[in-house]
Structure 1
Amino acid sequence: MNLRGAQAARFFAKPDPGTVGALIYGGDAMRVALKRQELIANLAGPGADDEMRLTRMSGAEAKSDPAAVLDALKAVGFFPGPRVVFVDGVTEAQGGPILQALSDWSDGDAALVVTAGALKKTSKLRKAFEAHPKAVAVGLYDEPMGREEVEAAIAAEGLSLTPEARRGVEALSQQLDPGDFRQTLTKLSLYAGGSEVDADAVALMAPATVDADTDQVIAAAAEGQAGAIGPLMQRLSGQGVAAVTLVIFATRHFQQLHTAAVAGGVGGLRPPVYGPRRDAMERQVRAWGARKLEGALALLMETDLTLRSSARAPDMAVMERAFIRLAMMARS
């Protein structure tokens, strides 16, 4: 099945326990990551990670060991409860093991959750999940959150809002990307401490400079300005920005640069880029080149895996080190 809009939002919030698989795809990695987290939490329930009922692997790992996905689906866990196999960042070229696992799924197997970037209508992955009677495909696009999504996010934080505060929150949902919006609601919840939230509190918690600071630190890394990274990271840390958010945004930026480098310039990017940012990206594409950008993306993928692992290193320190390494690469 192909789900959209309110139908997709209801599926993420309350998935059918009999779901065989779900493909979540889109060009905005943050939107895909948030929906994937929500779906896995609602499919597997609390404690899935600790009880080893959640198996993770990347698209590259699935391709290198074609039997790994199907073996993970059919593995019997030590703890009772629903199981999920999550395969992250699958490309069309890595889709073979996913298609085989979906075809060979049988009763009692784990649910299969797959994420991917933007996929064309002709994608074999899309067609397989859309055609399967017990699987779904959900495409996420760069558009404001719907009313049901906003209401679900407010309810998840247990917020009580005055009518004026609710209007302010709804306005923020149209201005911020989903990750920043949810972080803002979390800060509101902590600030309110169970009390009703008014419009002044919404205005106080709204991120005034987060987007600008995030863009600045990514630009500093891309242009080799290592000395600027430390102060910017301190500011972002003080604003409550998560390291995972930074690595997702940085990956998206360097993916755009790589696409432009391969295509011969930013003119081929969709959606197109205009203004000062276009000039900066053109400059960065010339300075890096496709091969170095591939190295940058590999570094960011390694950093993303480290942040999502059980490593004890402070997340923001890991991210700052990655940005500095990128800045060094830009200079070389």
Structure 2
Amino acid sequence: MNLRGAAALKYFARPDPASAGALIYGGDAMRVALRRQELIANLAGPQAEEEMRLTRLSGAEAKADPTAVLDALKAVGFFPGLRVVFVDGVTEAQAAPILTALDGWAPGDAALVVTAGALKKTSKLRKAFEAHGKAVAVGLYDDPPTPEEIDAAIAAEDLRLTDAARRDIEALARSLDPGDFRQTLTKIALYSGGEEVTPEAVALMAPATMDAGMDDVILAAAEGQAARIGPLMQRLEGQGVAPVTLVIFATRHFQQLHAAATGTAQPWGPNREAMARQARAWGTPRLEQALALLMDTDLTLRSASRAPQMAVMERALIRLAMMART
């Protein structure tokens, strides 16, 4: 069975104990790991490893011993409760023992949880789990988290949020990778101590995205203040800031502006009011041009070009500032 969206979230939160197991795959290893962790905890409980009801294997180990996965599924544990066999990082080249184990699964055996990277539609692993009557396949993609996923993460930390804080949390969810987002929510929960969370608390606990110097020069470019860019760049160069680092943070800034302009997310952090104003002033078409310019700059900085990298980055920021004025 192939699960997506709300159906996948429901399965992770309340998996069928009679299930043969699941294949969780996707290009974002952290996203896959978090869902795998959630599924195993909800299948076998938090004490599964201590009670020896969780068997861990790598894809390489499964290939080296083709019967290991099936033997683990059939093994009888010393402690009562559902058992899980977890095989991590399986590739198509290591699929054979997984397919054999899935084909040999029977009611009463352990649940089989398999993780993999990005898999094509023609993948043998995908086809086997999708076609199995008691197993599921879930593909995780780099799309922004859904409102349901954000609500589930908030509920897991038992957070109470003001409306403004919720908007900032939603913006954080769309700008951080899943692991950082979950860690940030945990920090906010510890900091709040059960009290209602405010935007100030979110800003305080959010990961630092850039130092003040980078913040200043990127804001100057977005505000059209071309004259400020040269002196700020000299200071950053003296501090040893790498041009590639600067283009990464500039791109993130303009991605947030683009998301705000298109209505898919709201800016967050101490500069959110300025960024909301910038998003309105730039508009979607010009922000797309700005992102294209930054992408070209990033490619130039990472290429074999002999152009002075800080000069390339400074020119890009000045061009952005000139675009902001038009």
**Pairwise TM-score range, normalised by the shorter structure:** 0.5 to 0.7
Q: Return the alpha-carbon distance in structure 1 between the equivalents of residues 150 and 114 of structure 2.
A: 24
> TM-score, normalization: structure 2?
0.66
Match of 1:102 in 2: 102
1:160 aligns with 2:163: no
Compared CA separation, residues 280 and 118, structure 1 to 2 (3 A)? farther
1:127 aligns with 2:127: yes
Q: Return the alpha-carbon distance in structure 2 between the equivalents of residues 176 and 46 of structure 1.
A: 27
Paired amino acid for 1:54: L
Q: Is there any run of 5+ residues in structure 1 with no aligned partner, and where?
A: 212-272, 284-332
Match of 2:63 in 1: 63
- 1:56-95 matched pairs, under 5 angstroms: 56-95=56-95
Match of 1:32 in 2: 32
Match of 2:253 in 1: none
The residue matched to 1:51 in structure 2 has which SS?
A: coil
Contact 1:6 1:146 in 2 (8 A): no
Compared CA separation, residues 67 and 210, structure 1 to 2 (3 A)? farther
Compared CA separation, residues 103 and 188, structure 1 to 2 (3 A)? same
Q: Return the alpha-carbon distance in structure 1 between the equivalents of residues 210 and 46 of structure 2.
A: 31
The residue matched to 2:195 in structure 1 has which SS?
A: coil
Paired amino acid for 2:153: A
Supply the RMSD in Å over aligned alpha carbons: 2.0
Compared CA separation, residues 74 and 142, structure 1 to 2 (3 A)? same
Q: Return the alpha-carbon distance in structure 2 between the equivalents of residues 276 and 47 of structure 1.
A: 50
- 1:253-272 matched pairs, under 5 angstroms: none
> TM-score, normalization: structure 1?
0.65
Q: Return the alpha-carbon distance in structure 2 between the equivalents of residues 210 and 108 of structure 1.
A: 52
Q: Alpha-carbon deviation of 1:7? A: 1.0
Contact 2:18 2:107 in 1 (8 A): no
Q: Return the alpha-carbon distance in structure 2 between the equivalents of residues 87 and 280 of structure 1.
A: 39
CA-to-partner distance for each residue in 1:109-139, whole Å, 9 max, x for gaps?
0000000011110011000000001100001
Identical pairs, percent: 74
Paired amino acid for 1:138: V
Q: Alpha-carbon deviation of 1:280? A: 5.8
Match of 1:169 in 2: 169
Q: Is there any run of 5+ residues in structure 2 with no aligned partner, and where?
A: 212-293, 305-326
Q: Return the alpha-carbon distance in structure 2 between the equivalents of residues 275 and 41 of structure 1.
A: 44
Q: Alpha-carbon deviation of 1:13? A: 1.0
CA-to-partner distance for each residue in 1:2-46, whole Å, 9 max, x for gaps?
011111111111111111020001111111111111111111112
Match of 1:306 in 2: none
Q: Alpha-carbon deviation of 1:86? A: 0.3
Q: Return the alpha-carbon distance in structure 2 between the equivalents of residues 281 and 98 of structure 1.
A: 40
Q: Return the alpha-carbon distance in structure 2 between the equivalents of residues 276 and 75 of structure 1.
A: 56
Q: Return the alpha-carbon distance in structure 1 between the equivalents of residues 103 and 113 of structure 2.
A: 14
Contact 2:40 2:84 in 1 (8 A): yes
Match of 1:149 in 2: 149
Compared CA separation, residues 207 and 125, structure 1 to 2 (3 A)? same
Aligned residue pair count: 224
Q: Alpha-carbon deviation of 1:203? A: 1.4
Compared CA separation, residues 280 and 50, structure 1 to 2 (3 A)? farther
1:182 aligns with 2:182: yes
Q: Return the alpha-carbon distance in structure 1 between the equivalents of residues 40 and 300 of structure 2.
A: 40
Q: Alpha-carbon deviation of 1:278? A: 3.6
Paired amino acid for 1:179: G
